[in-house]
Amino acid sequence: MTKDVKTREDALVEQFRRVPSVADLRHGALQVAIGDDAAVWRPRAAHETILTCDWFLEGTHFLVDRHPPESIGWKCLARAISDVAAMGAEPRCFLLSLALPAARTTDWLRKFLHGLKRASRALRCPIAGGDTTRRAEIVINVTVLGECKRRHAILRSGARPKDTIFVTGRLGEAEYGLRLLQRAPKLVDARDMRMRKHLFPEPRVAAGLWLSKHKFATAMIDLSDGLSTDLLRLCKASRVGARVQEALLPRVKIAAGDREKKFEPTQFALHGGDDYELLFTIAPRDVARIPKTIGGVTVTPIGEITSQRDIALEVEQGRAKILKNKGWDPF
Amino acid sequence: MTKDVKTREDALVEQFRRVPSVADLRHGALQVAIGDDAAVWRPRAAHETILTCDWFLEGTHFLVDRHPPESIGWKCLARAISDVAAMGAEPRCFLLSLALPAARTTDWLRKFLHGLKRASRALRCPIAGGDTTRRAEIVINVTVLGECKRRHAILRSGARPKDTIFVTGRLGEAEYGLRLLQRAPKLVDARDMRMRKHLFPEPRVAAGLWLSKHKFATAMIDLSDGLSTDLLRLCKASRVGARVQEALLPRVKIAAGDREKKFEPTQFALHGGDDYELLFTIAPRDVARIPKTIGGVTVTPIGEITSQRDIALEVEQGRAKILKNKGWDPF
């Protein structure tokens, strides 16, 4: 009888169980995961819960005829976890809402879950639950719960004039990958290293945790929509401005074979989205305490917070222009 | 400058702030809500966190030319909260992911948020965050966090043979409303009482809390996809079967003017979805302790758990047939 009573939706939800869960990760906080009305999760004492949700939509955030399903599985979780990293918190579990065409419920779904499972393991974030339904196009929503010690979350609103602005990693690498993918005639090779950052971004969880543990950062945001958009968001929340030194930007390196394509590393670094690096600000007294790498990733000072309420880009010594917000905006 | 730097997405997110939040509900648990990378929420000591997410999609779950936007706003939250009620827990906050066409960002959105706000207040569940983007059709995902005391969550898996099966309210009322809505030529009147249960369902939070507080229920599920589907789910999770007395089912009352429409209250009660009533099981020793109403809603015994591993529907004294699963399945 058991088999008969299962709806096809229930059968699909069963597949989620193969994503690492409680037992796999020896993670005692999930009391009940998939299979009940809701999940039951036990928070740590003296911690706060971090909550975020993120759309990942066919046509808007990925192209089903270009992006390998493994990349879509990895990235839908990684980008949601990046918001948790940007608070200086640790990811703890996630919920997956997946709507997809019946034709995608076999091979495509298997590869998608493979990528999701890899991200779940690598980022130590087990699945707690989800919802599935049918839809003409693939529509994904991921909710992540994270945790940090009470009053240790790093907000966007704490930056003060004279704070130094740092970023992790290199900027524009994901944009470079996206441009290559857009020129590809078909599904791209998931192993192409030039597209690695676009296909399999790595949220900077360890760097964020280090910063919240030491209470060094006055403000932090993740670079999801591009430096020009996200730095403005941080400045707006902190009621300050910024002056960025173009020469200091850690920029994407274009592979030799792609140099004739007129890619502009500086434009990619300023306006390219999807890098999921962290941007954070450090008060003058603490700047000397910031090492060259944090949690295995390089950190680079790129400018200073000002009281001007705009973003200036210093293109050469003493000459600056206003940096316009050209990052990603869905509307 | 502030106005210029805002993307249109940011402007949309600003509107979410008008949904009741921290201050409105004097609800101290949300430390940071909309406007940062993620929300920060403080869990209660000695409690567990309940997590659930729910799709609500144009064309699948609602029709934009029939359902009033106020109903869509109310229902997307109410139905997600029903999963929290089904665990015997209390809703604490929610995240709204909303993708919609640019043409829906003015009047439609205002009315949608009005309905959402009413639900948020009535169900005491403030908004903690969200994500918005553009989409050709309206796509909604709601995540709800709830809380209950440690080890008090009521699972689907605890039902035992000889337990009595109870349901809250009347079954089939939402199906009745849906059928009327499907016959309507245009947007229906949000005040039509015959459609009230379909348009503005009320999750049984108080009844669920009462049951978990007294530790009476051995298992519980909410009736979202219809009695025939959801009772099977509970039985499967508990590895038991059930025998339901058709004569005992609390059924929808069809209004005098609709009697010629050949609506079948029993079929609506057995297979109609969207009622969001609770179904729970009570051990023989506790049956006498269950009052006639709990949390303001009537509760009715409808049958008994068996060891048969199927669902029998007793249509008259001693004569039963196997109840087939005809509820909602998106695939």
Q: What is the pLDDT of residue A18?
A: 63
Q: What is the pLDDT of residue B259?
A: 85
| DSSP symbol at A138 | -
Give pLDDT tens digits along chain B (331 positions): 233 334 666 766 677 766 655 444 445 677 777 878 899 999 999 999 999 999 999 999 999 999 999 999 999 999 999 999 999 999 999 999 999 999 999 999 999 999 999 999 999 999 998 888 999 999 999 999 999 999 999 999 999 999 999 999 999 999 999 999 999 999 999 999 999 999 999 999 999 999 999 999 999 999 999 999 999 999 999 999 999 999 999 999 999 989 888 899 999 999 999 999 999 999 999 999 999 999 999 999 999 999 998 999 999 888 889 988 776 665 5
Domain B164-322: assigned CATH number? 3.90.650.10
> Do the Cβ atoms of B48 and A42 come within 8 Å?
yes
CA distance, residue B56 to nearest chain A CA (Å): 10
CA neighbor of B303 nearest in space, from B266, B267, B249, B265:
B249
> Do the Cβ atoms of B9 and A86 come within 8 Å?
no
ipTM: 0.90
> Do the Cβ atoms of A39 and B57 come within 8 Å?
no
- pLDDT band per the 50, 70, 90 thresholds, residue A22: very low
Region(s) of chain A under CATH 3.30.1330.10: 2-149
Residue A114's Cα: distance from chain center in Å? 19
Region(s) of chain B under CATH 3.90.650.10: 164-322
Its pTM stands at 0.92
Strand partners, A50: A146, B40
B143 touches chain A (CB under 8 A): yes
CA distance, residue B247 to nearest chain A CA (Å): 24
CA distance, residue B223 to nearest chain A CA (Å): 10
3-state class (DSSP) for residue B10: helix
Q: What is the pLDDT of residue A309?
A: 87
Best mutation target, B4, B16, B31, B36, to test chain A (most A CBs within 10 A): B36
Question: What digits encode the pLDDT tens for the residues A102-145?
Answer: 999 999 999 999 999 999 999 999 999 888 899 999 999 999 99
More confident of the two residues A318 and A203: A203
Domain A2-149: assigned CATH number? 3.30.1330.10
Cα–Cα distance for residue pair A38/B87, rounded to 1 Å? 7
Best mutation target, B31, B51, B236, to test chain A (most A CBs within 10 A): B51
Judging by beta carbons within 10 Å of its beta carbon (0-12, 13-18, 19+), is residue B317 exposed, middle or buried?
Answer: exposed
A310 touches chain B (CB under 8 A): yes
Strand partners, B134: B100
Instruction: Determine contact, residues B41/B34, Cβ cutoff 8 Å.
Output: no
CA distance, residue A135 to nearest chain B CA (Å): 8
> Do the Cβ atoms of B145 and A229 come within 8 Å?
no
B157 touches chain A (CB under 8 A): yes
A285 touches chain B (CB under 8 A): no
> Do the Cβ atoms of B55 and A4 come within 8 Å?
no
